[in-house]
Amino acid sequence: MPVFKYLMFCFLLLLAVARVNAAEIDRPIEDFMGHYIGHADSEDGMGRDMSVTIGEIPGSSDYFVEWSTVIHKSKTRTKRVTYNIRFQDSDRDGIHASAMAKDVFGKSRPLDPLEGDPLVWARIKGDTHVVYALIITEDGGYDLQVYKRTLNDEGLWLDFTRQKDNLPKLEISAQLVRVSQ
């Protein structure tokens, strides 16, 4: 009987290790592809309607992320912002570089943050696709925005943070429901 208990212990230990290792595997970008919508009320008192589409670029391994936010500043005033960014593999494993501009040879490349353009990159960590956007402000300060979109049964859970120099951090979370693949 002790041999059986020992074998059972070893089996359960291997099962636990397999679960931990499975949880650490980064999902492929295809798992995130689709169209999602949601709404959030934030600590700044402004409601936000949000949508995001993650899709493939045919004929390449690149993909795009397009997101739009309608900010309800008051009952009669709204502001809409939309971004559409193409991502491509970088020389660093697991980091996707933005391809928002073309060089003189027509090859996609990131924008130049020292020219006032955002530096944007993405990565996938487990079930979460993260987009980082860093802007060097006119006075040499910074504006860092982080969009963490985590897969769940309903679609994507969004955790957004924005930090500008020494200003209070803005944090917004919302459930985005998948409406199409």
Domains in the chain with CATH codes = 27-180 (2.40.128)
Express each pLDDT in 55-89 by its tens digit: 999 999 999 999 999 998 877 889 999 999 999 99
Percent of the chain surpassing pLDDT 90: 60
* Pairwise CA distance, residues 134 & 132, whole Å: 7
pTM above 0.85, yes or no: no
Measured between its terminal Cα atoms, the distance across the chain in Å is 52
Of 97, 92, 94, 88, whose CA–CA distance to 125 is shortest?
94
The yes-or-no verdict on residue 108 having pLDDT over 70 is no
